[in-house]
């Protein structure tokens, strides 16, 4: 283990030594000679051969040479300590390589280097993360979570080679166009009404003409944490009304080209209330459930729904039918699409995680 640990340390020192060699070539020559010895020893260890170079002894003797003269009784414990430290260096290095490989695979397959807490990955796309539960409470649970992460990564790898364009995912969502007969390409936009990244993404889609290029299926997905609580206040209520309006169908007086469900989301993401605050902020931070529902019902009046129709939509929004739709969508998004963050979009045959970029 000593020669392997020394090789690791020498590899880490390569950058510093390479820089110093610019000014003093003798340093580089001495380092290169030692490095070749360490590599020769490591090469034999890897192929399960006996290390004949004596490199291990050279390393230990160079460290112990001064101790032998001054305090010979410390030679044995220091020698044992060198072996122990060498083992720790090798174990930490192997663990770091495995964790690095895990993070890289997760970033490639899931769009985040942290499977349990996607938002904490600085290298991943900007998302509102679908987090796991509160995390391990003891070492045994930590091991279970570690293997569970690997399971999620490997189950998501086939998605990178999947032709999403021809897949029937079975999601229930609102179509973008009210008449439903658009000849543009289909796309799926999975978003949470309360997610700030979804707001940014939606606005970019509007500005760049995304909704003109594609007939989008809007799937409102209220994010839940590991304990089943909703991440954003009133997101589930908004989602219920989006599904209820879609199931209700168009009112006789609705004259818009886009669907009422789209108009609800557009209003939340792009318009401000009478208090000069974004409607998303109002729903997330200020409106109670009763106030939020009153606001949504008032919008339905503007979309041409009469009193009886609004009552039917309200009743449908709280029905078991809509609850089943939300649960089904939740299962498909997490277990079939393997989304770890919202927004997630599917268009041009590929899955895209994070805020939309033209």
The boundaries of the domain holding residue 61 are 2-98
pLDDT at site 3: 47
Output 177 or 312, whichever has higher pLDDT: 312
Residue 25: per-residue pLDDT: 58
Flag the least confident range among 50-54, 304-308, 327-331, 339-343.
50-54
Domain annotation covers residue 358: no
In this structure, is residue 132 part of a structural domain? yes
Are 143 and 178 found together in one domain?
A: no
Do 193 and 335 belong to one domain? Answer: yes
Q: Are residues 269 and 126 in the same domain?
A: no
Question: Considering its fold, how many domains does the chain have in total?
Answer: 3
- Rounded average pLDDT over 222-238: 87
Both tokens of residue 353?
Answer: 């995680």
In angstroms, rounded to a whole number, what is the distance separating the alpha carbons of residues 261 and 320?
20
180 and 304 assigned to the same domain: yes
Question: Which residues, including other chains, have CB under 8 Å from residue 348's CB and lie 6 or more apart?
Answer: 165, 185
Last residue of a domain, one of 49, 79, 98: 98
- Going 274 to 277 to 282 to 285, the CA torsion angle's sign is negative
Question: Is 75 a domain residue?
Answer: yes
Residue 194 shares a structural domain with residue 308: yes
Assign residue 299 the CATH number of its domain: 3.40.30.10
Domain end among 78, 98, 118: 98
Is the same domain home to 185 and 298? yes
pTM: 0.74
**Do 273 and 345 have their domain in common?**
yes
Residue 225 and residue 341 share a domain = yes
Residue 106 sits in the same domain as residue 93:
no
CB neighbour burial string for 24-41, b if at least 16 within 10 angstroms, e if fewer: eeebbeebeebbebbbbb
């Amino acid at each position: 283990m000593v020669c392997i640990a020394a090789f690791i340390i020498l590899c880490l020192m390569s950058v510093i030594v390479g820089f110093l060699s610019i000014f003093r070539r003798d340093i580089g020559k001495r380092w290169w000679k030692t490095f070749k010895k360490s590599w020769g020893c490591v090469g034999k260890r890897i192929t399960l051969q006996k290390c004949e170079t004596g490199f291990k002894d050279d390393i230990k003797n160079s460290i112990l040479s001064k101790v032998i003269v001054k305090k010979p009784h410390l030679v044995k414990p220091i020698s044992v300590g060198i072996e122990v430290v060498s083992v720790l260096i090798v174990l930490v290095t192997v663990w770091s390589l495995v964790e690095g490989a895990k993070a890289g695979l997760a970033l490639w397959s899931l769009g985040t280097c942290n499977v349990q807490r996607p938002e904490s990955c600085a290298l991943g796309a900007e998302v509102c993360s679908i987090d796991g539960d509160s995390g391990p409470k003891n070492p045994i649970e930590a091991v279970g979570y570690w293997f569970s992460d690997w399971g999620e990564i490997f189950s998501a790898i086939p998605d990178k080679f999947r032709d999403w364009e021809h897949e029937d995912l079975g999601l229930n969502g609102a179509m973008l166009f009210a008449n439903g007969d658009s000849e543009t390409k289909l796309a799926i936009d999975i978003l949470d009404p309360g997610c700030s990244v979804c707001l940014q993404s939606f606005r970019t889609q509007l500005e760049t003409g995304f909704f003109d290029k594609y007939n989008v299926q809007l799937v409102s997905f209220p994010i839940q944490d590991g304990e089943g609580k909703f991440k954003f206040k009133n997101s589930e209520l908004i989602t219920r009304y989006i599904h209820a309006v879609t199931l209700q169908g168009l009112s006789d007086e609705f004259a818009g080209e886009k669907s009422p469900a789209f108009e609800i989301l557009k209003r939340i993401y792009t318009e401000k209330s009478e208090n000069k605050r974004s409607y998303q902020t109002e729903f997330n931070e200020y409106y109670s459930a009763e106030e939020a529902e009153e606001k949504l019902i008032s919008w339905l009046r503007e979309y041409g729904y009469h009193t009886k129709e609004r009552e039917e939509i309200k009743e449908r929004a709280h029905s078991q039918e809509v609850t089943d739709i939300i649960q089904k969508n939740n299962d498909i998004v997490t277990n079939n699409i393997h989304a770890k963050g919202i927004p997630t979009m599917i268009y041009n045959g590929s899955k895209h995680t994070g805020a939309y970029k033209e």
